[in-house]
Amino acid sequence: MSKECCGPGYASPKEAMQADREKLLYTVALYVGTGVEKPDYLATVDVDPDSPTYSSVVARTEMPQVGDELHHSGWNACSSCHNDASKTRQYLLMPGVRTSNINVIDTSDATNPKLHKVISGDDIKAKTNLSAPHTVHCLGPDIIISMLGDADGNAPGGFLHINEDFEIVGRWENDITGMNYNYDFWYQPRHNMMVSSEWGAPNTFMPGFDLEDVGAGKYGQSIHFWDFEGKKIVKSIDMGADGMIPLEVRGLHDPESNEGMFAATLSSNVFRWWKTDDGDFEIEKVIDIPTIDVDGFPVPMPSLITDILISMDDKYLYFANWLHGDLRQYDITDRANPKMTGQVWLGGMLGKAPEVNGVTVQGAPQMIQLSLDGKRLYATTSLFSSWDNQFYPGMKDKGAQMFMIDCDTENGGMSINPDFVVDFGNEPNGPSRCHEMRYPGGDVTSDIWL
Amino acid sequence: MTARPSHKVTVANRGGRELNVAEGENIADACEQAGIAVPIACRYGGCITCAGRLVSGSVRQPKGTALNKRQSQDGYILMCVAQPKQDCVVEVGVETHTSLYRNPFLGPLK
């Protein structure tokens, strides 16, 4: 863990990799769209192999209101405040995409997180005309949250600025010109850059996925590069058919680096992005997953790359193909030419691994989280309640699952750990959906170094 | 002062419970007040969580944007914005969602 003199997180990505092995993992767990009329909750999972409760849910922290659709989450402070001893990584902000509530969870007692405060979705709508909170990032006393719609669920949304006391400051951006839709974002102040991606308007994606909406241009296909200090877009790139529905945006962890990766989910391509020496931004497609013709399907099935992440040493890229049902590892030492080094199958519509570790997989690999040392990749199988119900209708009655994949960081390679599975089909209040995961001490998708 | 006119809403799959829903009030609120648990989320007609079936009668759905034409034709309404225009019979809950969702890759689009 960090030295006593310092603030949250780690001095560098290299130091983060030396941290103790993760013992607890948080995941959101949802009842939206399951028929169980209970609030979503934060599930604390024991991932310490020496513990008698290893591979099980050890605490459940209920949100105060039904129907949030918890999705992603973020900390009040991360390694970007490592030099500020007055800061602690204590609060996990958990937005509800459907209610627009932002639940603030106090994790002082890591094994027993408690609700601290709710920023009301109605307040957010009234004060900022924004709804559908998604990605949470912090920087000093500020917290920025991407918002996917206006108060009525229309595009393009914007960015919500809240302070360290979890009060609404207002909208973060100065100018949103050029943005059609909003989704994820990542920033690196050292290079004065921010990158944001596009899903669709809440009114479009909330009810479910419809190819007609894609044809009508209701889903995003652009990526936006920002002047972070000026809080305005400096370049937008429309990727056309190659770049449909760009979701998770990841930067390399090394703060010297001014590049990263993102996936176009529907087109199922991975792009590399970077800032050039003269301050321009460029992208290039570096991975293209072919569609597969499946009997009985009238259109070729995309792999649907739904989550993507980069290991702390910036050596490996991992991503999940939620329709095909595989997880992949690529060596990205040569940034422009990723080499596939590992692959495992979990559930999915191709039927390659319907049962894993004695459990019938509902869905397929979706959200992923990697240990700081890069050796363990955790995967959950739910995407979004209404989309789950379209593609994997069994999940609403049987719940989603969490698996762990052992990763070879020397030679590349992945294998499903046979001793770890958390079946959210067995939850006490009924089957639930597990989605994004975080470690109490920070993980490979939460922290930024200045 | 005169009471606002109200309409009778029968919740067919909750034991046929009958609710009086005042004009301007939505069915989800009326169910909650009567202690009938219904799925609920955005409360503005923008997500599909509260969808249920309108078996008979008619409703206004101001700001209801979450249902497409097929879903509406199949009789789905959004309880969080649905205000009865006359006496109605509805079915609520996720158990009504059997034909609400479809895999878009699994058949020709209508």
> Nearest chain B Cα to A101, which residue?
B42
Q: Which positions in chain A touch B65 (Cβ < 8 Å)?
A: 152-153, 203
Mean pLDDT of chain A: 96
pLDDT-derived band of residue A4, with 50, 70 and 90 as boundaries? low
Cα separation, B106 vs A447, whole angstroms: 40
Work out the minimum CA distance from B5 to partner chain A, whole angstroms: 28
Q: Which positions in chain B touch A150 (Cβ < 8 Å)?
A: none
**What letter would DSSP give residue A203?**
H
Determine phi and psi for B97, rounding to 5 degrees.
Answer: -85, 10
| Cβ–Cβ pairs < 8 A, chains A and B | 103
Region class of B29: left (phi > 0), else alpha (psi between -120 and 50), else beta: alpha
Determine phi and psi for A215, rounding to 5 degrees.
Answer: -60, -30
Rounded average pLDDT over A242-256: 98
Judged by CB atoms closer than 8 Å, whether chains meet at A99 and B44 is answered as: no
* Tokens coding B97: 């969602």
Rounded average pLDDT over A367-384: 98
Cα separation, A383 vs A307, whole angstroms: 10
Judged by CB atoms closer than 8 Å, whether chains meet at B49 and A212 is answered as: no
Determine phi and psi for A15, rounding to 5 degrees.
Answer: -65, -40
Rounded average pLDDT over A413-423: 98
CA A432 to chain centre: 18
**Element at A360 (helix H, strand E):** strand A359-360
Which 3 state secondary structure label does DSSP give A251?
strand
Residue keyed to tokens 């034409």: B69
Judged by CB atoms closer than 8 Å, whether chains meet at A67 and B41 is answered as: yes
pLDDT-derived band of residue A211, with 50, 70 and 90 as boundaries? confident
Is residue A219 pLDDT above 60, yes or no? yes
Task: Say yes or no: A337 contacts chain B, CB-CB below 8 A.
Answer: no
Rounded average pLDDT over A324-351: 97
Work out the minimum CA distance from A66 to partner chain B, whole angstroms: 7
Interface of B with A in 76-95 (CB under 8 A): 93-95
Cα separation, A232 vs A175, whole angstroms: 5
Cα separation, A113 vs A450, whole angstroms: 28
Task: Say yes or no: A212 contacts chain B, CB-CB below 8 A.
Answer: yes
Stretches in chain B below the pLDDT threshold 50:
108-110
DSSP character string of B65-108:
-S--HHHHHTTEEETTT-EESS-EEEE-SGGGGGGT---TTSS-
Which among A438, A442, A162, A435 is positioned nearest to A322, based on CA atoms? A435
Best residue in A385, A395, A396 for a mutation probing chain B (most B CBs within 10 Å): A385
More confident residue, A211 or A149: A149
Q: Which positions in chain B touch A100 (Cβ < 8 Å)?
A: 42
Domains of chain A: 13-438 (2.130.10.10)
Work out the minimum CA distance from B2 to partner chain A, whole angstroms: 31
Judged by CB atoms closer than 8 Å, whether chains meet at B44 and A152 is answered as: yes
CB A100 within 8 A of CB A125: yes
Judged by CB atoms closer than 8 Å, whether chains meet at A33 and B49 is answered as: yes
> Nearest chain A Cα to B68, which residue?
A207
> Nearest chain A Cα to B95, which residue?
A35
pLDDT at A276: 95
More confident residue, B52 or A298: B52
Which among A450, A73, A388 is positioned nearest to A251, based on CA atoms? A450
DSSP character string of A97-109:
TTT--EEEEE-SS
Q: Which positions in chain A touch B38 (Cβ < 8 Å)?
A: 37
Task: Parse chain B into domains and list their residue ranges.
Answer: 6-96
Q: Which positions in chain A touch B44 (Cβ < 8 Å)?
A: 152-153
Work out the minimum CA distance from A31 to partner chain B, whole angstroms: 9
Cα separation, B104 vs A213, whole angstroms: 11
> Nearest chain B Cα to A153, which residue?
B46
Judged by CB atoms closer than 8 Å, whether chains meet at B42 and A386 is answered as: no
Is residue A297 pLDDT above 80, yes or no? no
Q: State what percent of residues in chain A have pLDDT above 90.
A: 96
Which 3 state secondary structure label does DSSP give A126?
helix
Cα separation, B31 vs B19, whole angstroms: 8
Residue A49 makes CB contacts below 8 A (sequence gap 6+) with A419
Q: Of the given ranges (A140-149, A179-188, B60-69), which has the lowest mean pLDDT?
A: B60-69
Interface of B with A in 13-42 (CB under 8 A): 37-42
Best residue in B29, B42, B77 for a mutation probing chain A (most A CBs within 10 Å): B42
Q: Which positions in chain A touch B100 (Cβ < 8 Å)?
A: 208, 389
Best residue in A390, A392, A397, A433 for a mutation probing chain B (most B CBs within 10 Å): A390
pLDDT at B64: 86
Q: What is the pTM of this model?
A: 0.95
> Nearest chain A Cα to B37, which residue?
A37
Is residue A295 pLDDT above 90, yes or no? no
Residue A238 makes CB contacts below 8 A (sequence gap 6+) with A221, A222
pLDDT at A234: 97
Cα separation, A221 vs A125, whole angstroms: 26
Going by CATH, does the domain composed of B6-96 fall within 3.10.20.30? yes
Cis amide leading into A156 (omega within 30): yes
> Nearest chain A Cα to B62, which residue?
A152
Q: Which positions in chain B touch A298 (Cβ < 8 Å)?
A: 105-108
> Nearest chain A Cα to B39, which residue?
A37
Interface of A with B in 133-172 (CB under 8 A): 149, 152-153
Q: Give the CA distances from residue A387 to residues A99, A251, A312, A384, B26, in Å, rounded to whole numbers and listed in that order.
A: 17, 27, 31, 5, 26
Judged by CB atoms closer than 8 Å, whether chains meet at A209 and B104 is answered as: yes
